[in-house]
Amino acid sequence: MAGLAPDIQEIVRKDIPLAPYTSFGIGGPADLYAEPKTIEQLEALVTEADKNHIPYYILGGGSNTLFSDKGFRGIVIRPQFKKISTTETPTEASIVAEAGATIAQLIQAAAKSDLSGIEVWVGLPGTIGGAVRGNAGAGGVEIKDMLSSATILDLKQRKIMELSNADLELEYRHSTLKDKPHLIVLSATFHFDKKLPAQEQQLLMKDVLQKRHATQPKGKSAGCAFKNGTDPLTHTIISAGKLIDECGLKGTRVGGIEISTIHGNFLQNTGNATQQDVLDTIALIKKTVKTQKNIDLHEEIQIVPE
């Protein structure tokens, strides 16, 4: 990264352990690590990394990411631009949130203006960037239902562009960004067409959180490890957690990983789990579910090689 402007060079650090930046608590040191505070800084970093053939990984809240115990041979870039701005006209309301802002901050901003629709996301960890890429969702509302467009940095064409909801091809835990890692989310615009007083939203959120806490384990995990499965005969969607439960896998331990006894799709780091423990657990679950149910499960978590 020799060609970097001095102010960018200043924010690049060496040998930074990644485990503390993930909800799994797994990951060795990244060769290089940077927290750009502006879109311009991010642009400079990725452009320079790309030019120098240095692999880069954009890290959001780290709530869906599994790093290697050996870390990452390249630069991990964790956007820290988090501006959120609300615009309301008599007929329309929208919120623009920068990629590094959290879903929690977006919910707060909406509630502040009595804008309703995303209260059900309360407790959903991570940033706007990660959520848009994976079309995150909870309580029956996905990013797809609320997003108007996203501002994207296209590293191949070296330009910033606006992609509409349709352009992003948002589907269950998928977007076109998953197939095109050269597209980086800079910000996203969400539309709101319902109003609910903040106080009433708070009551609703309390309820949602209670349900979340009752059905999901606390502790270190990356949320659901697998996407829901599809029955090959009926084509109906079957909860991956239910499949794992029915296969009798809850509570199984593989190294430092335990398949949660509360929610079968949560792989919990009991203390010193390694990436390999997670990969072995994933392999065991896939094989068992295939043998017993004839259903293929696919990972929801992002597995990052060294």
Check residue 25 for interaction with ligand FAD (CB under 6 A). no
Q: Which residues ranging from 277 to 296 are in contact with ligand FAD (CB under 6 A)?
A: none
Q: How far is the CB of 133 from ligand FAD (least distance, A)?
A: 4
Q: Which residue has the tokens 């949560």?
A: 266
Whether residue 224 lies in the annotated active site: yes
| Among positions 29, 74, 117, 223, the unique one binding ligand FAD when judged by CB under 6 A | 223
| Among positions 99, 106, 118, 163, the unique one binding ligand FAD when judged by CB under 6 A | 99
Q: How far is the CB of 91 from ligand FAD (least distance, A)?
A: 30
Q: Which residues ranging from 129 to 148 are in contact with ligand FAD (CB under 6 A)?
A: 129-131, 133-134, 136-138
- The size of the chain, in residues, is 306
Nearest by Cα to 14 from 58, 81, 76: 76
Check residue 79 for interaction with ligand FAD (CB under 6 A). yes
Whether residue 92 lies in the annotated active site: no
Nearest by Cα to 173 from 290, 276, 301: 301
Check residue 126 for interaction with ligand FAD (CB under 6 A). yes
- Which whole-number Å values give the CA distances from 97 to 4, 144, 232, in the listed order? 27, 15, 39
Query: d(Cα 258, Cα 129) in Å, to the nearest integer?
Result: 29
- 190-219 footprint of ligand FAD as x/- string (CB under 6 A): --------------------------x---
Nearest by Cα to 195 from 119, 132, 138: 119
**DSSP characters for 201-250?**
HHHHHHHHHHHHHHHS--SB--SBSBPPEE-TTT--EE-HHHHHHHTT-T
| Among positions 12, 16, 18, 23, the unique one binding ligand FAD when judged by CB under 6 A | 23
3-state secondary structure (DSSP) of residue 299? strand
| Among positions 68, 80, 127, 265, the unique one binding ligand FAD when judged by CB under 6 A | 127
Check residue 227 for interaction with ligand FAD (CB under 6 A). no
**DSSP characters for 171-210?**
BTTB-HHHH-TTEEEEEEEEEE-EE--HHHHHHHHHHHHH
Q: Which is nearer to ligand FAD, 133 or 250 (CB)?
A: 133
**Contact at 8 Å (CB) between 305 and 70?**
no
Q: How far is the CB of 108 from ligand FAD (least distance, A)?
A: 16
Provide the annotated active-site residues: 173, 224, 300
Binding site for ligand FAD (CB under 6 A): 23, 57-65, 79, 99, 124-127, 129-131, 133-134, 136-138, 177, 184-185, 216, 221-223, 302
